[in-house]
C-alpha cells in the first residue's frame, strides 16, 4: 500500500475500510469485537473514538486467521452465533449477512464461484453439498486447484462449536499459520452439517495494493449508485456520482455528473442537482435547484430555491423558501428569509436577512473584529446596494435602503436610507497637469 497506516485504515468512499465493515456489522449486532494487530495503537484509537461501544482485543503476533479469532475466545458465548468478518473486505452487505445467519443452525460458509480461483481456499463438499474441508491454495494439489468454488473467509458458527474447534486447529501447513478454514474439516468430522451460500464476488473483494483499492472504489461507487437508482433518483451517469453517506429523496429528483454526496442528505420532491456539486449533511426542499459547482455543507435549503452556480453554503446556513443564492455567494451561520436574494459576489456571515430583501453584489457582513464574531440583522423588504460593507454588530430595519458603496457602522431605522461614502472630489485637468 506504500503507507504508514494499517491496511484497514485506507480510505474508501470517504471512510476507512474497517469503518465500512463495522457500520455493516452494527446492523446485525451490538456485540462486536475487533481483533487488532499491525499498528494497533493508531487502529485502536480510531475504533475507540469512532465506535466507543466496540471491544478490541490485541493479536501480538500475526499467526493466522484462527489465531486472530482465538484472541477473542474469552468473549465468545457458547449459546450464541458468532459471525466472523474481515476488516479489509469492506463491501459485504447487510442482506448477505442476514442470508448467511439464517442459512444454518450450526455453521454456514460464505462462498463464491470464480473463473480464476487462484489464491483462494477451495471448498470440498460431500454428495449432499455440505462443506467437508477447505484446502488453501498453497496446500492444494493440482486436481484440487481445479475446483472453482472458493471460501471467502466469512462464516457464521455456533459459539461452542467455534470454541472447541479453535483448540484443535494447528499450524501444520505450508505457511505455518493457524487457519480458521481448518475448522470446517474439524466440525465436519464431528458430524456437523456445514452449509454454503454463494456471495456476489464484488461484495467480498479485498485490497492488498492501491490498484485493488481503486477497483474497490469503482465497485462501491456502482453499488451506491444502484441505491440511488432504486429510490427513483435519475442519474445522468451513474459512474460519475459518489455517494459517501445516506440519501433519502422524494419523487422526480435528478443528479448530474461529478456530484459528491456525503453524510446525511435529504432531498424533497423534484430537486435538481447539477454537475460538480458537493453536498454534505444537507436538506433541500421541493422544487429547488442546486446549480453547477456549488458546495453546501451543514445547510438547509427551503422549497423553490435556486442556489449557485459557484455558491458556497457553510455550516448553519438556512435558506428560506423561494430564496436565491447566486454565483460566488458564501453564507455561514446565516438565515435568508422567504424570497430573499443575494445574486452575486457576496459574503453573509452570522447574519439574518428578512424575507424579500435584496443583497447587492459585493456586499459583505463584517462579522469578525479580530477577536469575536458579531451578528448583522437585516429586516424584510430591504435593499442593500452594491459593494456595501455592513460592520457588525449592526441592524438594518424593515424596508430600509443602503446606498451602493456604503460602509454601515450604525443601526439603520425602518424605511430609512443610509449612505456611508467618502466625499467624491474632482480635480479638473489633473491628468493633463501631471503629464
Q: List residues with catalytic annotation.
A: 344
3-state secondary structure the chain: CCCCCCHHHCEECCEEHHHHHHHHHCCCCCCCEEEECCCHHHHHHHHHHHCCCCEEEECCCCCCHHHHHHCCHHHCCCCCEEEECCCCCCCCCHHHHHHHHHCCCCEEEEEEECCCCCCCEEEEECCCCCEEEEECHHHCCCCHHHCCEEEEEEEEEEHHHHHHHHHHCCCCCCCCCCCCCHHHHHHHHCCCCEEEEECCHHHCCCCCCHHHHHHHHHHHHHHHHHHHHHCCCEECCHHHEEEEEEEEECCCCEECCCEEEEEEEEECCCCEECCCCEEEEEEECCCCEECCCCEEEEEEECCCCEECCCCEECCCEEECCCCEEEECCEEEEEEECCCCEEEECCEEEEEEECCCCEECCCCEEECECCCCECCEEECCCCEECCCCEEECCEEECCCCEECCCCEECCCECCCCEECCCCCCCCCCCHHHHHC
Amino acid at each position: 500500500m506504500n503507507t504508514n497506516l494499517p491496511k484497514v485504515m485506507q480510505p474508501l468512499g470517504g471512510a476507512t475500510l474497517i469503518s465500512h465493515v463495522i457500520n455493516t456489522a452494527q446492523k446485525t449486532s451490538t456485540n462486536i469485537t475487533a481483533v487488532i494487530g499491525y499498528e494497533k495503537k493508531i487502529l485502536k484509537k480510531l475504533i475507540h473514538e469512532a465506535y466507543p461501544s466496540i471491544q478490541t482485543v490485541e493479536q501480538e503476533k500475526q499467526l493466522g486467521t484462527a489465531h486472530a479469532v482465538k484472541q477473542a475466545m474469552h468473549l465468545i458465548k457458547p449459546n450464541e452465533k458468532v459471525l466472523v468478518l474481515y476488516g479489509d473486505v469492506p463491501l459485504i452487505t447487510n442482506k448477505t449477512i442476514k442470508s448467511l445467519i439464517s442459512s444454518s443452525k450450526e455453521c454456514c460458509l460464505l462462498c463464491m464461484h470464480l473463473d480464476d480461483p487462484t489464491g483462494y481456499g477451495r471448498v470440498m463438499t460431500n454428495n449432499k453439498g455440505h462443506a467437508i474441508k477447505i484446502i488453501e491454495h498453497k496446500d492444494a494439489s493440482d486436481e484440487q486447484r481445479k475446483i472453482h468454488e472458493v471460501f471467502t473467509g466469512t462464516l457464521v458458527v455456533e459459539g461452542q462449536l467455534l470454541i472447541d474447534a479453535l483448540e484443535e486447529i494447528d499450524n501444520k501447513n505450508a505457511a505455518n499459520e493457524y487457519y480458521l478454514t481448518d475448522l470446517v474439516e474439524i466440525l465436519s468430522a464431528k458430524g456437523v452439517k456445514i452449509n454454503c451460500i454463494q456471495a456476489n464476488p464484488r461484495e467480498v473483494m479485498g485490497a492488498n495494493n492501491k490498484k485493488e483499492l481503486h477497483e474497490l472504489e469503482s465497485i462501491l461507487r456502482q453499488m451506491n449508485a444502484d441505491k440511488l437508482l432504486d429510490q427513483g433518483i435519475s442519474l445522468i451517469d451513474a459512474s460519475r456520482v459518489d455517494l459517501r453517506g445516506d440519501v433519502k429523496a422524494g419523487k422526480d429528483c435528478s443528479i448530474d455528473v461529478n456530484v459528491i454526496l456525503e453524510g446525511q442528505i435529504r432531498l424533497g420532491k423534484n430537486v435538481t442537482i447539477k454537475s460538480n456539486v458537493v453536498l454534505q449533511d444537507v436538506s433541500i426542499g421541493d422544487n429547488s435547484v442546486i446549480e453547477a459547482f456549488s458546495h453546501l455543507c451543514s445547510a438547509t435549503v427551503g422549497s423553490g430555491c435556486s442556489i449557485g452556480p459557484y455558491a458556497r453554503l457553510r455550516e448553519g446556513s438556512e435558506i428560506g423558501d423561494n430564496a436565491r443564492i447566486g454565483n460566488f455567494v458564501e453564507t455561514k451561520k446565516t438565515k435568508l428569509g422567504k424570497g430573499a436574494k443575494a445574486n452575486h459576489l457576496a459574503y453573509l456571515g452570522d447574519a439574518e436577512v428578512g424575507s424579500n430583501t435584496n443583497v447587492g453584489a459585493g456586499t459583505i457582513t463584517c462579522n469578525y473584529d479580530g477577536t469575536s464574531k458579531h451578528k448583522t440583522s437585516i429586516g424584510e423588504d430591504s435593499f442593500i446596494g452594491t459593494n456595501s460593507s455592513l460592520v457588525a454588530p449592526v441592524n438594518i430595519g424593515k424596508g430600509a435602503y443602503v446606498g451602493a458603496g456604503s460602509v454601515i457602522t450604525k443601526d439603520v431605522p425602518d424605511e430609512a436610507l443610509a449612505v456611508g461614502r467618502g466625499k467624491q472630489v474632482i480635480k479638473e485637468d489633473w491628468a493633463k497637469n501631471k503629464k
